[in-house]
Chain A
Amino acid sequence: MNSSNPPQAGEYGGDEVSAIVLDPGYSTTRAGFAGEDAPKSLIPTYYGKYNADGQEKLVFGDDVFVTPRPGLSIYNPIGKDGIVEDWDMAEKVWEYSFTSRLTGAKASNPLHNGLNDISNDELPTDMEVESDEKPLADSPLLMTEPGWNPVKAREKTIEIAMEKWGTPAFYLARSGVLAAFASGKASALVIDIGASNISITPVHDGMILKRGVQHSPLGGDYISSQIRALFKKNSPQPITITPHYLISSKTAVEAGQPPQAKYKTFPAEKAPDATYRALLEERTLSEFKECVVQVWPGPNKLSATGPTGVSNEEMARSSPGRPFEFPDGYNQLFGADRFRVVESLFDAKAAILDSDSSFPTPTQAQTLPELIKASLSGVDVDIRPHLLGNVVVTGASSLLYGFTDRLNHELMQLFPGPRVRISAPGNTGERRFGSWIGGSILASLGTFHQMWISKKEYDEHGANIVEKRCK
């Protein structure tokens, strides 16, 4: 094409719109276009609610972390077990996740979506979009769900996608299966360490083996509760976390010395409530997890004795501690304690007891090794070695330093016979967004067209079609 001549109009014939992949989790909701390597939109599933000028206002997205609002309180539409509890709000949060960065509030104008011819001279200017246009009217949607999602919840999900968002095609996939896809495996034992749950999903030839699905609440939030318990018992004095929003300035203090900070005060009726404070404390805790917390790498439990006769705990104690400074300026070195807060994921007896914690004391059956054992005993004997050879680790909490090393030791102890191979992506993004990436791969395949449930099929068969088609 000689570009010095004006190009012909209407040369562009149109291209199909790529699907949207929505991966709702307990802590964050991920959304993006299929075919991309990371979700464009990552928002907290938590949302804020407050009253201003006599009306209730909702806050979505990262803004809840940044701007304190008068009387703000924080909610999560998803229950502790990973199943949606508040459908109205879940719909709003999910909708925000793709409208904010991907689709915009309304579907693109039919004159501009590339699907219609536009006259040579000028774009027509009377571009009135129908006011009832739905946000996903021109994008197929792939959503993920936990392996133990009940039928009711699945039907409700497709109902929202079809009726509220107006998607032309929909598919619901298990997050475990997708995480296996992300690692390039059709069969795998997927270990997902999330915020509210840890789950084991055996996948065979791209199908979930439902009897083998195991989950327990010892996820990232549980680790946070263990850290809080540790802070409470801290010596010389218990540590309280004061989030940044309550501090106007801090002064440097020596390690272990009481903090010297200027605090902010809000009038009582305007102060954000305890849920907001808890959410922001969680931010500090995740920084703590990144900087300080470490999984005892094994071999054996932290409470066991090492090969040299020195107890592992002694070894941990002798390693140099890691310093951490809290928002109010208090700072301290954390020694062996930083191993203890995660030990109960592997050894229930090591849990730090805290009567105030919202998490009950873990039982041995909830720990990772037991879950894996239970999961494998639920699947066919023949495929067990194959699964153990393809262990996929995903979920943000699996990024705890030393986690995969320890997991490897535990697996080798549990299953000395077959070869155990752990596949854990080194890239943080791939680890955190494993199931989203799998969804991105699946939805960009040519065969996705044959899998999805079209609007027409949904209209014909009703919501129950999701049970038949999305297995």
Chain B
Amino acid sequence: MRRRPVTRGRKAAAAREAPIYPDRELTNMPPFKDEHVLLIAPGSQMTLAQLGLPETFTPARFRFPTRMFPAQKEGEYEPYRIRERRNEVKVGNGNGAPKSTPKEDVEMKDVESAGQDAAPKPEGEGAEGTEKTEEKTQVVEEILYEEDVTTEEGAVYPIQDGRIVDWPCFYALLTHIYNALSPPFHTPILMIAQPVWSARDREAITQFVFEKFKVPGFSLMDSALAACYGYGVQTATVVDVGKGKVDVTAVTDFAVNEHGRGIALQGCGGDAMTDRLLEMLGPRGFTREMCEQLKRSNITEIVPPGTPLPGAAVTARQGVNPATAATTGADGNDSAPRGPGEGTQTGTETNGEEDEGVLDVAAIVSGNTTEYLANMEKDKSAKKGGAADPRSKLPNNKKEKAAFQFEEFVPMEEESAVGGAKRYMRHNREIEVGAERFLLTSPSQQIGDRLSSGILEDIATQIHHTILAVPDATKRSELWDSLIIVGCGSKVRGFTQALLGVITQKFILSPSATIFTSEIPSAFTTPLPTGGTNTPATMGQPGPLYHPAAHGVNPLLVAATHNNPGMVAPGTPGMDPNGTTHYRSSGHSQTPTSAKTLRLPEYFADFKDQGNSNAPGASVGPSGASQGGHGTEEACFLGAQMAAKVFFVLDQGLTKGYMSRVEYNDNGPSAIHEYIL
């Protein structure tokens, strides 16, 4: 690890920032700088990490698969699958030369040099910075490709359903990430905490980070809160759809409501959808990997409840042995089968996506943008679904069948014959699926452990439970109207709409039940009585309550309002000894009268991408492969960047956003709870 002396430049920067907080002692703690902040967001599948805060916040630069492989030595872990042979062929960078040096060293050197390049750059040159970053990413990715991509045999997954199940492995992963990014000493870390982590877990992580990495500052931020930061709201219901679990959290005024929180709801995440697809398509020869990629493909869609499905319910046309029969089928709407050689693994994907991604800007500027884009989309789907088929002009959810690109790694045989080291290439082929692709959230056939009616209903029920458990009843309506849905599981097309559909079906109150209370302007929905009044709930309400705009909607209610003789509150002299308000648990209305999702602020262009991209091979684990299209589902990471900017750089610890090393030394790891956000 390199040591870097404090430069004059940094001191000067510190002095420049000093006047903002004159009471801070600069000698004690030089301020942190943007490029030194390390962000880590561990997840069950991928751990996102980034060193430095860019000018405009972007999706995480590094994605480490959350798994390690046992090393030769008992109890130690390696990030790659260790093979016995030393002369491995590096497929990733294409040179194919045998390599004798250990991989770890190679990577360290590469990253370090990239880091050194990036370090001296003056501030304000954002463009250059990002360019450098790209380069660095490339380097790491290429290295990562060289692992044995075909199998994850023996991999240890330290996080399952958000829980840390293997601590040594988790620590090894953190160490690997830290070393890979090689931050300077004056680097604070902000880590996104999974809701399921217990208080002791958080203490253990805090202790590890301080004692192993010797960080000057550490912050553990709850993932739900991070999502709120990302969206820039202080009250919201955060639904995090992960790999194997879903977390539902009500955040009010930047405070996480622990009570009633839906923590690690099992069997509701992305895996559950894959399992359901496998259940339907498995008998037709689909493997789990195929279902996983089908789920990620853009032909898969969750349709809102009650939408008629095209064609018969089960129409998958798939050979018994898809690996060979695949899409060479006789039907006219298949394009020619794609043979090997089209998608050899050379870093970039060659399945024609690249040129499709280039938009004709002139056409957009001159013409009707949406029309143009819609046309492009159609062209694209036409290409995918087979250009000859007129039905392919239909929107996806009207098409009876559609095909997706299945990508897999196929050994190149001639290579394996020669050197003994196997080479793999990416191989694309099309697989056609029927209406099953709309049914991935439907309830499973066999009743297993749960009488679920599909994961959407489970999530909706949990949202209802969570919001109902929020003690401040006046906030509940706002919580229903501020749903934030994050997590890669929510990337499936139509997920959000379908979830809102289920909520509407099950929980939204009919207007007649809420005419009294829900239509009061927001100024009246916080009807906390002033001290000492004994006015019963409904009597103290101001005028609008008695004259609901919707007269005639409900004769019963109108009758009730008009019979009101304007009764005087049976007031008694103020007797509340504290003179404070009595919390009223009555006098608020039932919720929800509506349910809406929030929109991510538009000024983060990189987070606009609304998921649904086919990220081929991501589940196979060509680890670190840049998966295009990370959008709103990673709002947590956006929030983490914002929080890091605020806590570490802007206010220098005044909000107690992070725990400094001094505080750690004084109070020990358990003091982290005072800083947990």
CB distance from A22 to the nearest CB of B (A): 14
Q: Which residue of chain B is the closest to A403 with respect to CB atoms?
A: B582
Query: Which chain B residues in 560-588 approach chain A with CB under 8 Å?
Result: 560-561, 563-565, 567, 570, 572, 575-578, 580-588
Contact check, A325 vs B588: say whether CB atoms are below 8 A apart: no
Instruction: Tell me if A355 counts as interface (CB < 8 A to partner B).
Output: no
- Which listed residue, B4, B471, B506, B538, touches A432 by the CB 8 Å rule? B471
**Chain A residues within 8 Å of B210, by CB:** 12
**Chain A residues within 8 Å of B588, by CB:** 290-291
**Chain B residues within 8 Å of A214, by CB:** none
Instruction: Tell me if A86 counts as interface (CB < 8 A to partner B).
Output: no
Contact check, B577 vs A421: say whether CB atoms are below 8 A apart: yes
Interface residues of A (CB under 8 A from B): 1-7, 9, 11-15, 17-18, 33, 36, 38, 40-42, 52, 57, 62-63, 65-70, 99-104, 108-109, 112-114, 118, 122-123, 125-127, 244-245, 247-256, 264, 266-267, 270-272, 283, 287, 289-294, 297-299, 306, 312, 315, 318-325, 327, 329, 331-333, 335, 399-402, 404-405, 408-409, 412, 421-429, 431-432
11 more contacts with CB within 8 A, not counting A4-B4, A6-B185, A325-B510, are A52-B448, A109-B204, A118-B211, A252-B510, A272-B451, A287-B590, A323-B557, A323-B590, A401-B587, A405-B582, A428-B583
Contact check, A6 vs B512: say whether CB atoms are below 8 A apart: no
CB distance from B68 to the nearest CB of A (A): 12
Contact check, A102 vs B198: say whether CB atoms are below 8 A apart: yes
**Chain B residues within 8 Å of A331, by CB:** 509-510, 512-513
Contact check, B199 vs A102: say whether CB atoms are below 8 A apart: yes
Among the interface residues B4, B203, B261, which one has the most CB atoms of the partner chain A within 10 A? B203
Q: Which residue of chain A is the closest to B187 with respect to CB atoms?
A: A3
Q: Which residue of chain B is the closest to A402 with respect to CB atoms?
A: B536
Contact check, A399 vs B468: say whether CB atoms are below 8 A apart: no
Instruction: Tell me if B377 counts as interface (CB < 8 A to partner A).
Output: no
- Given A103-B198, A248-B453, A250-B505; A114-B669 close (CB under 8 Å): yes
User: Could you write out 15 A-B pairs with CB less than 8 Å apart?
Assistant: A13-B665, A68-B450, A70-B451, A108-B204, A109-B204, A113-B204, A125-B76, A245-B461, A248-B453, A254-B512, A254-B556, A289-B585, A319-B538, A400-B586, A426-B581
Contact check, A297 vs B536: say whether CB atoms are below 8 A apart: yes
- Which listed residue, A57, A253, A290, A322, touches B538 by the CB 8 Å rule? A322
CB distance from A332 to the nearest CB of B (A): 8
A289-B451 Cα distance, complex, nearest whole Å: 29
- Given A11-B665, A264-B453, A266-B451; A100-B198 close (CB under 8 Å): yes
Contact check, A3 vs B570: say whether CB atoms are below 8 A apart: no
CB distance from A7 to the nearest CB of B (A): 5
Contact check, A335 vs B576: say whether CB atoms are below 8 A apart: no
Contact check, B198 vs A401: say whether CB atoms are below 8 A apart: no
Contact check, B537 vs A322: say whether CB atoms are below 8 A apart: yes
**Chain B residues within 8 Å of A2, by CB:** 6
CB distance from B256 to the nearest CB of A (A): 11
- Given A114-B668, A123-B212, A408-B575; A103-B512 close (CB under 8 Å): no
Q: Which residue of chain A is the closest to B197 with respect to CB atoms?
A: A104
Contact check, A40 vs B199: say whether CB atoms are below 8 A apart: yes
**Chain A residues within 8 Å of B457, by CB:** 248
Q: Which residue of chain A is the closest to B539 with respect to CB atoms?
A: A319
- Which listed residue, B461, B561, B584, B661, touches A320 by the CB 8 Å rule? B561
A99-B536 Cα distance, complex, nearest whole Å: 42
Contact check, B513 vs A323: say whether CB atoms are below 8 A apart: yes
Among the interface residues B171, B207, B586, which one has the most CB atoms of the partner chain A within 10 A? B586
A122-B214 Cα distance, complex, nearest whole Å: 12
Contact check, A321 vs B560: say whether CB atoms are below 8 A apart: yes
Q: Mark B536-563, 1 if CB is under 8 A from A, else 0.
A: 1111000001100000001011001101
Among the interface residues A289, A329, A402, which one has the most CB atoms of the partner chain B within 10 A? A402
Contact check, B670 vs A12: say whether CB atoms are below 8 A apart: no
A299-B453 Cα distance, complex, nearest whole Å: 50
**Chain B residues within 8 Å of A13, by CB:** 665
A256-B451 Cα distance, complex, nearest whole Å: 31
Contact check, A14 vs B668: say whether CB atoms are below 8 A apart: yes
A394-B68 Cα distance, complex, nearest whole Å: 51
- Which listed residue, B258, B537, B545, B567, touches A41 by the CB 8 Å rule? B258
Query: Which chain B residues in 27-84 approach chain A with CB under 8 Å?
Result: 28-30, 74-76
Q: Mark B421-451, 1 if CB is under 8 A from A, else 0.
A: 0000000000000000000000000011111
CB distance from B534 to the nearest CB of A (A): 5
CB distance from B514 to the nearest CB of A (A): 7
Contact check, B208 vs A123: say whether CB atoms are below 8 A apart: yes
Contact check, A293 vs B450: say whether CB atoms are below 8 A apart: no
**Chain B residues within 8 Å of A421, by CB:** 577
Contact check, A319 vs B448: say whether CB atoms are below 8 A apart: no
Q: Which residue of chain B is the closest to A432 with respect to CB atoms?
A: B471
A73-B556 Cα distance, complex, nearest whole Å: 39
**Chain A residues within 8 Å of B270, by CB:** none
**Chain A residues within 8 Å of B307, by CB:** none
- Given A3-B185, A244-B464; A67-B536 close (CB under 8 Å): no
**Chain B residues within 8 Å of A323, by CB:** 512-517, 557, 590
Instruction: Tell me if B200 counts as interface (CB < 8 A to partner A).
Output: yes
A333-B186 Cα distance, complex, nearest whole Å: 63
**Chain B residues within 8 Å of A264, by CB:** 453
Contact check, A15 vs B575: say whether CB atoms are below 8 A apart: no
- Given A67-B450, A244-B506, A290-B473; A431-B570 close (CB under 8 Å): no
- Which listed residue, B198, B212, B507, B576, touches A244 by the CB 8 Å rule? B507
Contact check, A3 vs B661: say whether CB atoms are below 8 A apart: yes
Contact check, A324 vs B199: say whether CB atoms are below 8 A apart: no
Contact check, A335 vs B198: say whether CB atoms are below 8 A apart: no
- Which listed residue, A9, A68, A333, A422, touches B211 by the CB 8 Å rule? A9
Contact check, A315 vs B570: say whether CB atoms are below 8 A apart: yes
Contact check, B265 vs A426: say whether CB atoms are below 8 A apart: no
Instruction: Tell me if B128 counts as interface (CB < 8 A to partner A).
Output: no
Instruction: Tell me if B340 counts as interface (CB < 8 A to partner A).
Output: no
Contact check, B513 vs A324: say whether CB atoms are below 8 A apart: yes
A57-B564 Cα distance, complex, nearest whole Å: 54
Instruction: Tell me if B662 counts as interface (CB < 8 A to partner A).
Output: yes
Contact check, A325 vs B514: say whether CB atoms are below 8 A apart: yes
